[in-house]
Amino acid sequence: MKVERIFLSGKEVILVGTAHVSLESVELAKRTIEEERPDVVGVELDSQRYAQLSSGEKWRELNIGEVIRSGQSYLLLVNLLLSNIQKKMGDELGVKPGAEMIESINKASELGIPVELLDRNIKTTFSRAMNAMGLLEKLRFFYFLFMAFFGVGSEKVSQKKLDELKETDALNSLLMELGKAFPSLKRVLVDERDKFIAQKIRQSSAKKIVAVIGLGHMGGVKENLMQEHDLKELVSVEKKKSIFGLAKYAIPALFVLLFGYIFFSKGLETGLYFLALWVLVNGTLSALGVIIARGHILSAATAFLAAPLTTLHPFLAAGWFAGLMEARIKNPKIRDFEELKNIASLGDFSKNAVTRILLVVALSNLGASLGSLVFFPLAAKVFL
């Protein structure tokens, strides 16, 4: 934790580097604002995370159906994992994650000082992160994330380690570790946000601003304050062309070609067997995904019926239908949304109605995709 003062083109910038799970950071941020009395207090939050922190996690406002239909299920799962990893760290240290940000806002309000949110929208950050990674990176990333989620806090943390965490930005330390294994991920999660935060500070009309940011961002923000950055470029999310994008069109085309060939060369009966095998392989593996997620039997049946059709449609997914059925049958209650912040194990994921729905969507889609990979070699062997 440290404070640095920078003079920039008639603007005085006081950077307060904090650990996001440290009581000392809370006091440092409040004391600096009290002593400096700046024109503006900036905090490393976006509007969504600020709403969550200030209102005790407003999960009850989450529209799970809209999340499924918009294809945001995976991003929400990643968000939950990262949030709960940070919460576990906070539980070990005896302080709520992000407390220094909220207390900085409270202190500014007490002194009548305006507050500016400096961070990029978290959905934009996650979307850009997913676009930046290739398939193998994504698989390794989810493995790393799950290992971190189930490993952090599983053993008693030593007092020495607790003291180290109090002097560092624990969440950004995790992101730095991620960056070593996933350079493209570090570029989005750390480097781009350094630029975004620095530019937001540069654009502030305040002559004197106290910016409360994570210690892991101090060096990057300080460096990027010396030059202009294009915020539009940093918030744009382009549709990335990938092997999955091509597969959405290639699989239906290949299916139609194979079916046409078999129907005209082998006859109607063989063609019907071909169709039956497609339904059986795709439907079974998609339904199996729902069962693994501990979804309802009707959700599994929905996945079985939907997968053979949605796999042939580039803009539909079996998991959407299975997830919506799961949400209809086991409609999440307010307590399910409130308990999202307390999920600490794989069992909790399947017990909570909200995360179970997200798992149903993810595993049903995964099963349908695997079904296509299994079907074509099998069909070639049986029918050609």
Residue 318 tokens read as 């079996």
Comparing C-alpha atoms, which of 150, 139, 149 is closest to residue 181? 139
The predicted pLDDT at position 297 comes to 96
Q: Residue 157's pLDDT is what? A: 42
Q: Which two tokens stand for residue 62?
A: 């989450």
Which pLDDT score is estimated for 281? 96
Q: Which of 137, 145, 103, 80 is nearest to 359 (CA)?
A: 80
- H helix intervals, the chain: 23-36, 47-54, 64-69, 73-93, 99-111, 122-132, 135-151, 159-166, 170-181, 183-186, 192-203, 218-224, 231-235, 243-266, 268-292, 297-310, 318-329, 334-338, 346-351, 353-383
**What is the torsion angle, in degrees rounded to the nearest 10, for the CA atoms of residue 166, residue 172, residue 176 and residue 177?**
60
Q: Which pLDDT score is estimated for 383?
A: 77
Strand blocks (E) in 163-225? 208-214
For residue range 329-364, what is the model confidence (pLDDT) as tens digits?
987 765 666 566 666 666 676 777 878 888 899 899
Q: Is 222 exposed, middle or buried (0-12, 13-18, 19+ CB in 10 A)?
A: middle
pLDDT of residue 139: 73
Single-letter amino acid code for the residue at 3: V
pLDDT at 62: 59
pLDDT at residue 352 in the model: 79
pTM of the model: 0.68
Instruction: Return per-residue pLDDT of the chain as tens, 384 residues.
Output: 689 999 988 899 999 998 766 678 889 999 999 999 999 999 999 987 787 666 655 544 556 666 666 666 666 666 666 666 555 555 555 556 678 888 999 999 999 999 999 999 888 888 888 888 876 777 777 776 666 555 544 444 444 444 444 444 455 555 556 666 778 878 888 899 999 999 999 999 999 999 999 888 889 999 999 999 999 999 998 766 556 567 778 889 999 999 998 989 888 889 899 999 999 999 999 999 999 999 999 999 999 999 999 999 888 899 999 999 998 898 776 566 656 666 666 667 677 787 888 889 989 999 999 999 899 988 888 776
pLDDT at 156: 44
